[in-house]
Structure 1
């Protein structure tokens, strides 16, 4: 796990703070979130059945388009063939899924692992469209992993939950009871405090 700039766990029961810190650290490691999280603060108030978490992310990753992972070129004007030459294979399965959905499995040939050939209708439009296909959105993946981390670290029975990701700030609140608006605001305030620590 990458070293976090700030990692604070507060609890009105001090012995619980250390236990929660260990649990959260283990989950961050399991979900490989150490590189994405810069600062994290957790506040636990058992007397209110309240669990709050605020996370400041190190930075966001841009969406990955086909043009980021390879080149798209017209290879035959007459037969209207377009070739995608892959340089980064990481998202190749996701790209194939999207191409099969658009052109059908029979419409996508793969003579080599890093070469995909399609016959298209409109060369210019399809080439531009192919270059701009989004094959991965790391921000969405990151958000789902943050939510999983928060839920897994929440005390048993805290089924009423709230979360939001706004830019580099992730806030989470959970309780056994109905969440009060001031609790959600408290989670946001914790995120603000973490931002001020920059």
Structure 2
């Protein structure tokens, strides 16, 4: 796991704070979030059945386009095919889903692991269009992984939850009881303090 600039877990009971720090650290590692998180602070208050988490994120990654992960070639317009040579296999599942949705499964062949052939009447135009196709949105994926991380780190039974994500921040609050507005405000203040750190 990449070193975090700030990693604080507070609780009135010291042993609980250490236990939750270990749990949060494990979940961050399991979900490979160390590179995305810069600073994190968690406050666990058992007497109020309250869990608060604030995170300052590192710089976000840009959208991943076809041109970032593959070479696209219309080849001969007589063949009515577009050939895609994949350079980064990790995006292959997302790429296939998008191509199947756009062209139908029957029009996509995969003669080799890193090669896709699309059957289309407008091969030249489609090749140009495909180069700009968005394959993955790391920000959307990051948000779902942060929510999963927060839920997994939360004490058992804390099913009433709130979360908020901005460009470079994430706030999460959970409890067994109805969330009080001041708890959410406190979590945002924790975030403000983290953002002011140098």
CA–CA distance in structure 1, aligned partners of residues 44 and 135 of structure 2: 39
1:124 Cα deviation (Å)? 4.7
TM-score, normalization by structure 2: 0.92
User: Equivalent residue for 1:184?
Assistant: 184
1:100 Cα deviation (Å)? 2.0
Alpha-carbon RMSD: 1.6
For this pair of structures, how many residues does the alignment match?
198
User: Equivalent residue for 2:13?
Assistant: 13
User: Equivalent residue for 2:127?
Assistant: 127
CA–CA distance in structure 2, aligned partners of residues 51 and 109 of structure 1: 50
TM-score, normalization by structure 1: 0.92
User: Equivalent residue for 2:47?
Assistant: 47
1:60 Cα deviation (Å)? 1.1
**Per the alignment, in what secondary structure is the counterpart of residue 135 of structure 1?**
strand
CA–CA distance in structure 1, aligned partners of residues 160 and 177 of structure 2: 7
Residues 108-144 of structure 1: per-residue CA shift (max 9 Å, x gap): 1223322222222334542233122222222222211
CA–CA distance in structure 2, aligned partners of residues 93 and 159 of structure 1: 32
1:156-195 to 2 correspondence within 5 Å? Answer: 156-195=156-195
User: Equivalent residue for 2:149?
Assistant: 149
User: Equivalent residue for 1:116?
Assistant: 116
User: Equivalent residue for 1:136?
Assistant: 136
1:104 Cα deviation (Å)? 2.2
1:88-103 to 2 correspondence within 5 Å? Answer: 88-103=88-103
User: Equivalent residue for 1:58?
Assistant: 58
* Residues 77 and 55 of structure 1, relative CA distance in 2, 3 Å threshold: same
* Residues 15 and 109 of structure 1, relative CA distance in 2, 3 Å threshold: closer
CA–CA distance in structure 1, aligned partners of residues 192 and 125 of structure 2: 45
Residues 54-104 of structure 1: per-residue CA shift (max 9 Å, x gap): 011122112211111112222122333222122222211221222122222
Kindly indicate whether the alpha-carbon contact (under 8 Å) linking 2:81 and 2:121 is maintained by their aligned counterparts in 1.
no
User: Which ranges in structure 2 are unaligned for 5 or more consecutive residues?
Assistant: none
User: Which ranges in structure 1 are unaligned for 5 or more consecutive residues?
Assistant: none
* Residues 13 and 71 of structure 1, relative CA distance in 2, 3 Å threshold: same
CA–CA distance in structure 1, aligned partners of residues 12 and 36 of structure 2: 28
